Copies of this chain bind each other. A is one copy, B any other.
Amino acid sequence: IEQKNISYHMSDLNFYEYIFKKIYLALVKKQYKNFYCGVWPLPHALTSSVEQYPLNPQTFAFDYGKHSATQQGCSLLDAAFRRYFSLIFPDYTAGRWTEEFLKCQISTDHNDCENYPNDDSSERYNLSVSAGQASLNAATVWGILRGLETFSQLVYQDDLGSYFVNETFIEDFPRFQFRGVLLDTSRHYLPVHAILKTLDAMSYSKFNVFHWHIVDDPSFPYQSRSFPELSKKGAFHPATHVYTQSDVRRVISYARMRGIRVLPEFDSPGHTGSWGKGQSDLLTPCYKGGAPSGTFEVTSVFPDSYIHLGGDEVDFSCWRSNPHVRAFMQKMGFGGDFPKLEAFYIENIVNITSANNKTSIVWQDVFDYHERVGAHQDFTVLVEVWKHGCYLCKVRQVTKAGLRVILASPWYLDLPGPTHNWARYYTVWPLAFPGSEKQKRLVIGGEVCMWGEYVDATNLFPKLWPRASAAAERLWSDEKQTSSVEKAFPRLEDFRCKLLRRGIQAGPLNVGHCKHEYQGV
């Protein structure tokens, strides 16, 4: 069967021809099996045909459209072109290259090459692949990055090793603005290259926020400029188990190149066990000690407009035991109401943060304390819902109070469970609570959490991938088109094989195999 005989353009065909070709194609489906590979996460609008275009790695190129606001020299896109070229053509070994070939031309409306991605960055893109030409258009470089990822997933190899892409038209944009992955580098130290590789994998699933839970009780690996003693005494090891300022800059830059924001979390007043080792006057009783200048450092090191202040799981019994704390509360008129003290503490930090033009994110505990003490008026924070149980009840409650929400509860991927329980993370419906349209719009996204009690560089990747990708589709794609676990499964299996091919140690979903198994052992 000659390929030409069965290829068609939608526009060229009348209805009967169309039906005839459909049936005919079903009969020769085997020859076209690669065509059925999908894009993960699913684009909002995608039409494609069986018209195949060969790609020739010797002539293929990305280039900038004539009217594009970004042009050669935009280091962010120049680097992305090189990166995606390698991802699209992992080998040159096989394939008969034809005279025909296809190029990919990109175009942006703005020249935002040197910016950092932020909460108002558009990630929308249009991609069309037709005879001789792929066109990728977006308002911003961030949209182009998302489109390049999609384009790379459209390309496939036949059994002889030749590369092809099918005629395709895509309009795509994220459902939620905030799509995060949390890594915890305090309970176990993660080497910088494990973080960078996570950023790579995140970009393959179109995640756009790296929530860096950088310090906590067990260790303080962040090497502070203002308080160097914190990591010197609080890190597992002051030389080998720290993130230097240069490491942090590298992570932020690597993330920016992939359209990923870095959201730092310095969780207080709970979860600060390791802080006290290097700053003896920092913790209770003098809990306000380092906060102002520390916050100032953080706001200058991390460019993102959001900062996560933590605020979860405060152990009031510690404060209760301290006579100075009790005296302070008397003076402030809090009586014995420790949530009031917590509210006072957090409000102080939030004010400092907002004086630095940053938006504060807090764990839901803070909302709960403030709700109890009636303090949440004029208190603009973003609330991250993390507790189990009826998390949508909490989402409803927070949005009713007019505050924005990030949902994490259903995506605690560190919790024990089989590798294959991806469907649990897929069948999450973040807006399925009774509430107004305005409330729904306050849900700005969600986040996969990988806490570190039992996770380090040895098991991070097979625990995170491809299960995090299930959440990624929920956060990026249209819910109606992606409500079926059964339909998603073969696409996710295919995507997992793509991750392996790209060197990401993604765990298996079920019995089966990939053409290219993981070779990193």
Give residues in A with beta carbon < 8 Å to B. Answer: 187-189, 191, 193-194, 197, 218-219, 236-237, 240-241, 416-421, 452-462, 500, 505-513, 515, 517-521
Contact = CB atoms under 8 A, between A and B. Distances in A.
A316 to B, nearest CB: 23
A507 B452 contact: no
A458 B461 contact: yes
Nearest to A191: B517
Contacts of A189: 513, 517
Top 10 A-B pairs ranked by shortest CB distance? Answer: A459-B462, A416-B418, A236-B513, A187-B511, A194-B521, A458-B518, A458-B505, A459-B507, A457-B518, A456-B508
Nearest to A198: B521
Contact of A417 (B416, B458, B510, B517): B416
A462 to B, nearest CB: 4
A191 B459 contact: no
25 contacts: A188-B511, A193-B521, A197-B521, A218-B512, A236-B512, A236-B513, A237-B515, A240-B515, A241-B517, A419-B454, A419-B459, A453-B510, A454-B508, A454-B509, A455-B508, A456-B507, A456-B517, A457-B518, A457-B521, A458-B461, A458-B505, A458-B506, A459-B507, A462-B462, A520-B520
The complex is assembled from copies of this chain, and their number is: 2
Contacts of A507: 454, 456, 458-459
A515 to B, nearest CB: 7
Given A197-B521, A420-B454, 10 more contacts: A189-B513, A191-B519, A218-B511, A218-B512, A236-B512, A237-B515, A240-B515, A454-B508, A458-B507, A462-B462
A515 B500 CA distance: 29
B458 A513 contact: no
A34 to B, nearest CB: 15
Nearest to A217: B511
A65 B513 CA distance: 50
A513 to B, nearest CB: 4
Contact of A512 (B188, B420, B458, B505): B188
Contacts of A460: 521
